[in-house]
A and B are shown apart, each in its own frame.
Chain A
Amino acid sequence: MVEARRERWPSLTSLAVLLPLVLALVSAPAAALAGALRPRLAAVAGTAFAALSALAVAWGWSMGGGTVDVPWAPSYDLRFTVTLDGLAVLYALLATGIGFAVLVYSSRYLPLHLEHQGRPESDGGSFYFFILLFMGSMVGLAMAQDLILLFVFWDLTAIASYYLIGFDRHEEDSRASALMALLVTGVTAVLLLIGALMFYAAHGTFSIPELVRLTEPGPLLTVAGGLIAVAGLAKSAQVPLHFWLPRAMAAPTPVSAYLHSAAMVAAGVFLIGRVYPLLQKSDFLLDALLVVGLASMAVGGVLALTRDVLKQLLAYSTISQYGYVVFMYGLGGKYGATGAAFYVLAHALSKSALFLTAGAVTEATGETRLSRIGGLRKPLPLLAAASGLAAAGLAALPLTIGFFKDELFFGAALERGAPFAVFAVLGAALTFAYVWRFWSGIFLGPTRDGARGVPAALVWPVVVLGALVLIGGVLTEPFAELAIAAGTVSLDAPATVEPAYHLDARPENLMALATFAIGTLLILSRPVWSGSARAASRFGESFGPEKAYDLTIRELNRLSDFVHRAEVRDLRSRVAAILLPAGILVGAGLLATPTTDVYRVGEVQLRDVPLLLALVSVAVASLTTTFTKRHVTLALVLSSVGFVLAVVYAFFGAPDVALVAVLVEVILTMVFIATLKLVPRKVLHRQANLPTERPWRKVFFATVAGAFAFAVVWGTLSQPAAEQSVADEHLRLTPEAHAKDSVTAILADFRGLDTLGEITVVALVVLAIATLLNRGRLR
Chain B
Amino acid sequence: MNSSVTSVLTRAISKLLLLPTLVAAAAILVKGYSQPGDGFSAGVVAGLGVLLQYLAFGREEAEKLPVVRSAGVLAFVGLLLALLVAVVPLFLGDPLLTHYPPPEGEVLIFGTLEILTAVLFDVGVFLLVFGFSVVTTSILARTIADEEEYALEEPVGEGEEA
A: residues with CB less than 8 A from B are 71-76, 655-656, 659-660, 663-664, 666-667, 670-671, 674-675, 677-678, 680, 682-683, 736-741, 743-745, 747-749, 752-753, 755-756, 759-760, 762-763, 765-766, 769-770, 773-774
Contact = CB atoms under 8 A, between A and B. Distances in A.
B86 A76 contact: no
Contact of A770 (B35, B37, B135): B135
Nearest to A751: B97
Contacts of B147: 678
B40 to A, nearest CB: 7
Given A748-B118, A769-B135, A678 B144 contact: yes
A666 B21 CA distance: 15
B158 A740 contact: no
Contacts of A675: 140
Contacts of B89: 75
A362 B141 CA distance: 52
Given A667-B133, A753-B96, A769 B139 contact: yes
Contact of A749 (B34, B99, B144): B99
Interface of B: 32-41, 44-45, 47-48, 51, 72, 75-76, 78-79, 82-83, 86, 89-91, 93-97, 99, 101, 103, 107, 114, 116, 118-119, 121-122, 124-125, 128-129, 131-133, 135-137, 139-144, 147, 151, 157-158
List 4 A-B pairs, minimum CB-CB distance, nearest first.
A736-B103, A663-B44, A655-B36, A740-B34
B136 A663 contact: no
A372 to B, nearest CB: 50
5 contacts: A675-B140, A740-B33, A759-B128, A762-B129, A773-B142
B157 A682 contact: yes
A773 B139 contact: yes
A766 B124 contact: no
Contact of B118 (A664, A682, A739): A739
A192 to B, nearest CB: 22
Nearest to B37: A659
Contacts of B45: 663
A671 B134 CA distance: 12
Contacts of B119: 748
A74 B98 CA distance: 14
Contacts of A678: 143-144, 147
A759 B79 CA distance: 7
Contact of B36 (A741, A748, A755): A741
Contact of A738 (B33, B36, B157): B33
B118 A759 contact: no
A570 to B, nearest CB: 17
Given A678-B144, A741-B32, A74 B93 contact: yes
B25 to A, nearest CB: 11
A740 B35 contact: yes
Contacts of A73: 90-91
A744 B32 contact: yes
Contact of A763 (B101, B128, B133): B128
B33 A756 contact: no
Contact of A766 (B51, B75, B122, B143): B75
Contact of B38 (A76, A743, A770): A743
Contacts of B94: 75
Contacts of A745: 33, 118
Contacts of A748: 32, 38-39, 99, 118-119, 121-122, 125
B99 A737 contact: yes
B146 to A, nearest CB: 9
A76 B94 CA distance: 9
B143 A756 contact: no
Nearest to A755: B125
A671 B141 CA distance: 10
B132 A765 contact: yes
Given A655-B36, A660-B41, A748-B38, A667 B75 contact: no
Contacts of A755: 82, 121, 125
A656 B86 contact: no
B93 A75 contact: yes
Given A73-B91, A667-B133, A674-B140, A680 B157 contact: yes
B94 to A, nearest CB: 6
A143 to B, nearest CB: 20
A667 B118 contact: no
A664 to B, nearest CB: 7
A72 B107 CA distance: 27
Contacts of B36: 655-656, 659, 741, 743
B118 A749 contact: yes
Which residue, of B72, B96, B118, has the highest number of chain A Cβ atoms within 10 A?
B118
A415 B79 CA distance: 59
A752 B47 contact: no
Contacts of A738: 33, 101, 103, 107, 114, 116, 118
A756 B136 contact: no
A741 B39 CA distance: 13
Contacts of B132: 762-763, 765-766
Given A75-B95, A663-B44, A739-B118, A766 B32 contact: no
Contacts of B143: 678, 773
Contacts of A740: 33-35
Given A663-B41, A748-B119, A773-B142, 12 more contacts: A75-B90, A656-B41, A659-B41, A660-B41, A670-B51, A683-B158, A741-B38, A744-B122, A748-B122, A760-B79, A762-B129, A773-B140
B24 to A, nearest CB: 12
A660 B40 contact: yes
B57 to A, nearest CB: 16
Contacts of B128: 759, 762-763
Nearest to B41: A659
A680 B151 CA distance: 9
A683 B103 CA distance: 59
Contacts of A763: 75-76, 79, 128, 132
A671 B140 contact: yes
B63 to A, nearest CB: 13
Contact of B48 (A666, A674, A739, A759): A666
Contacts of A756: 82-83, 86, 97
Contacts of A677: 144
